[in-house]
Amino acid sequence: DQLNYNLNVDFDGRKIVGDNPNDIKDTKYGNNNVVGPDAEEALHGTHVAGIVAQVRNNGKGGDGIANMVEIMTIRAVPNGDEYDKDIALGIRYAVDNGAKVINGSFGKYFSPQKEWVLEALKYAAEKDVLVIFAAGNDSKNLDVVNKYPSDSYNGAPEISNNVLLVGALNATYSSYMVAPFSNYGKKNVDVFAPGMQIYATVPNNKYKFLQGTSMASPNVAGVAALIRSYYPKLTAAQVKQIIIESGTPLKNTILVGEEQKKSSFSEISKSGKIVNAYNALIMASKM
């Protein structure tokens, strides 16, 4: 596969779907089969969706965070890095079809058409849609390294006030609370949420433990969905503010990254906090 596809400069993986990935106006491509040829390959997205909305109290698996939500399934990430065009159009499609919270459990470090995604995020902000992204799983400081997508690059101001970037917590309450793989950044990562040993749905009526900031992001998206379902008059910017300000502050010393450097939550994220659904709903009720 590496020789035939990844390293083959003549391979055109978009030809079969009729797409020119360098033309953002070329939108008539793809299909509505979100599962793909192998249901097992849809594991990642199914797990992410389950974290938000899997059936609660059914005695079969984990409980979803939110009850009163619907999942809009948009498959915009192929094997390998996602195309900027697909992400930009996927965001716009979700916005145009009624989404109030968008979860993006994906990311990369090279984005040739990042402006398309930035414009889509601005469009989501104009339409009052909250967008939540995973921070990434490479133990990187995102104040030093750009990770895409995001709402700010190279220290520039945020282009909108409707985007959250989420780091992953470990499954233990100690100095090892931050998952060793999680990206971080005082200027670019907003909050942390559980991202280790997360039990949720996978294809063929099964459940599985997975880990990653891909799991942390929907934990925050689920809290956002709770807030927006109970308090629909709150704006995306207000929900972002609530999630950041209502989190649980932690002042203990933590170990960060593969090298396990000593740090604190206030040094690795904007808020210095971990998401707290109960506190968020209490704060939302008072706004």
Q: Is 33 exposed, middle or buried (0-12, 13-18, 19+ CB in 10 A)?
A: exposed
Residue 44 falls within a domain, yes or no? yes
Indicate whether 138 belongs to any domain: yes
pLDDT of 2: 65
The bridge status of strand 130-134 relative to strand 163-169 is parallel
Tell me whether residue 96 is in a domain: yes
Determine the structural domain holding residue 232 and report its residue range: 34-285
Q: What is the pTM of this model?
A: 0.93
Radius of gyration of the chain (CA): 18
Identify the pLDDT of residue 108: 94
Give residue-wise pLDDT tens across range 56-112. 988 888 899 998 899 999 988 877 779 999 999 999 999 999 999 999 999 999 999
Pairing mode, if any, of strands 101-104 and 130-134?
parallel
Please name the residue that has the structure tokens 């994220």: 269
Report pLDDT digits (tens) over 184-236: 999 999 999 999 999 999 998 899 999 999 999 999 999 999 999 999 999 99
Contacts of 262 (CB under 8 A, 6+ apart): 253, 254, 255, 256
- Mean local confidence (pLDDT), 254-267: 87
CB atoms within 10 A of CB 21: 17
Nearest in space to 30 (alpha carbons), one of 21, 42, 41: 21
The verdict on residue 29 lying in a domain is no
Determine, yes or no, domain membership for 20: no
Beta-strand (E) ranges in the chain?
A: 101-104, 130-134, 163-169, 191-194, 198-202, 206-210, 248-249, 254-256, 261-263, 273-274
Cβ–Cβ under 8 Å, residues 243 and 275: yes
Q: What is the pLDDT of residue 260?
A: 84
pLDDT bracket for residue 37 (50, 70, 90): low
Averaged pLDDT, 127-137? 98
Q: Is residue 130 part of a domain?
A: yes
> Is pLDDT of 135 > 90?
yes
Residue 183's closest CA among 125, 257, 109, 246? Answer: 257
For residue 6, pLDDT over 70 is answered with: no
Q: Which of 3-17, 175-189, 271-285 has the lowest mean pLDDT?
A: 3-17
Rounded average pLDDT over 133-153: 94
Average pLDDT over the chain, rounded to whole?
92
Torsion of CA 28, 29, 31, 36, to 10 degrees: -160
pLDDT over 90 at 153, yes or no: no
The answer to whether residue 257 scores a pLDDT higher than 90 is no
Residue 4 lies in a domain: no
CATH number at residue 216: 3.40.50.200
Written as one letter, the residue type at 89 is L
Q: Please report the pLDDT score of residue 75 as a whole number.
A: 87
**157-172, pLDDT tens digit by residue?**
899 999 999 999 999 8
**167 in any annotated domain:** yes
Question: Do 246 and 259 form a contact (C-beta atoms < 8 A)?
Answer: no
Q: Which residue is it, tokens 């909250």?
A: 130
Counting the structural domains of the chain, the total is 1
| pLDDT winner (highest mean) among 16-20, 65-69, 205-209, 278-282 | 278-282
Distance CA 233, CA 230 (A): 9
